[in-house]
Amino acid sequence: MTARLRTNITYFVLIVATLLLRISVYEGVGLEGRGLDHYFTFVAQIVCFTLVPVTMYFALRKKGDVLTMHTLTSDFGFKKVGLRNSVRTLVIGIAMVYMATVISFVWSNLLSLLGYSYSSTPTEYESVGHLFLELFMTAVLPGFCEEFAHRGLLFYGYRDSGFKVVVVSALLFSLMHQNIRQTAYTFFDGLVLALLCYYTGSIWPGVFVHFFNNAISVLWDYGSVTGGWLSFMDKASDWLYDSLVGYIVGAIIFVLAGVAMVFMFKRMRDDSVKNGIIPAQPFAKNKEGALALHKDVLLYVIIALGVVATIFTLVWGIIR
C-alpha cells in the first residue's frame, strides 16, 4: 500500500468521523452554548485530527516496515526551522491575519446577498481564566492538531504530486470546516499554511501561523466583549468597514500585506531551492510513478463529501 493510499484512507476516516461527530454531538450530549462548542472542538481535534492519523499510520504500515514515533514525526514534517525563515513566517502570519479578515468580510457580504444568515453563540468572559480556555480550545488545539492532519498527514501522502500538494492541502483544509461561511478565508489560509510547509519542509511554521491567526481572533472577541485596550481591534474594524476612507485605507493595507507576503515567500522559496528542499522549476510536477490527481478516485470522494456538507450549511443558512 502506497503512502498516498494510506493517507487517503486515513483522511477519509478522519472526515467521516468529524462529520458524524458534528451530527451526533448536537443530539443529546446534554450541553449547550460554548460548552457544546468546546466539547466538539476537543473531541474533533484530539480524536479525529490527531489520534486517527497516528493510529492509522501504524495500522496501515506495509509488511516489513518498521515504524516508530521518530519515523512518524519525520514523515509528518516535524523539522527545525532556521532564524531567517522564522522571521519570514512571522511577517507572513501578520499579513495573513489581515488579508483573511478582509476576505472573510467580503465573503460574508456576498453570502448575505443570497439570503444566508448565521448566528453564533456569544462568548462570556467572566474571568481571565475563560480567556485562556478560549485560547486553548480555539488557538492551541487547532493550531497543532489541524496542521498535523493537513500539513503533516496530507503532505506525507501527496508530496509526490509536486506543487499540487499545496492546492490539495488548502482545498481539503477549507472543506474540512464543513461550513460555507468559512470556506473562502480558510482556503486562503490553507494556501498560505501549505506554502509555508512546502518551502520549509516543516510543519512548525504552519502551526505557529495557525495558532497566531486564531489567537488574534480570540483576543479580538475578548476586547469587543470586555472593552479595555484590546477593544482597539474592534474599533479599527468598524472604522475600516463603515466609511469610504476606511475602505480605501483597508484596500491599500490589503495590497501592501499581499506584497509583503509575496516577497517573503519569494525569499523563502529561493532558500528552499538552494537547500534542495524543492526543485528549481516553479511548479514541480509529479514524481515518476506517482498517481496523477485526476486518477485519484478516493481524493474525489473526499472532496465530494466535503462539498456536499458545505453546500448543506449554505442551504440551511438560507431556509432556516
- Taking only the tens place, the pLDDT of each residue in 116-169 is 988 777 788 878 889 999 999 999 999 999 999 999 999 999 999 999 999 999
Neighbours of 232 (CB within 10 A): 11
Mean of all residue pLDDT scores within the chain: 92
Q: Are 154 and 8 in contact (CB under 8 A)?
A: no
Task: Give 205's contacts (C-beta < 8 A, 6+ positions apart).
Answer: 81, 85, 86, 89, 196, 197
| pTM reported for the whole predicted model | 0.95
| CA atoms of 267 and 87, how far apart (whole Å) | 11
267, part of any domain: yes
38, part of any domain: no
| CA atoms of 74 and 152, how far apart (whole Å) | 9
**Site of grid cell 446577498:** 113
What pLDDT score does 239 carry?
87
What pLDDT score does 128 carry?
86
Confidence band, pLDDT 50/70/90 cuts, at residue 115: very high
What pLDDT score does 22 carry?
86
Confidence band, pLDDT 50/70/90 cuts, at residue 32: low
pLDDT(299) > 90? yes
User: Regarding predicted confidence, which is higher, 290 or 85?
Assistant: 85
> Residue 212: how many CA atoms within 13 Å on its side-chain side?
19
User: Regarding predicted confidence, which is higher, 235 or 138?
Assistant: 138
Q: Are 190 and 174 in contact (CB under 8 A)?
A: yes
310, part of any domain: yes
Q: Are 147 and 207 in contact (CB under 8 A)?
A: yes
pLDDT(42) > 90? yes
Helix or strand run (H / E) with residue 81: none
- Cα Rg, the chain, nearest whole Å: 20
**72 is written with which cell numbers?**
512518524
15, part of any domain: no
97, part of any domain: yes
What pLDDT score does 31 carry?
61
Structural domain containing residue 124: 80-319
229, part of any domain: yes
What pLDDT score does 28 carry?
58
Number of domains in the chain: 1
Provide the 3-class DSSP secondary structure of residue 273: helix
**Site of grid cell 462548542:** 37
Q: Are 9 and 298 in contact (CB under 8 A)?
A: yes
Q: Flag the least confident range among 125-134, 180-189, 282-291, 294-303.
A: 282-291
Confidence band, pLDDT 50/70/90 cuts, at residue 27: low
Neighbours of 241 (CB within 10 A): 14
pLDDT digits (tens, 9 = 90+) for 162-197: 999 999 999 999 999 999 999 999 999 999 999 999
pLDDT(254) > 70? yes
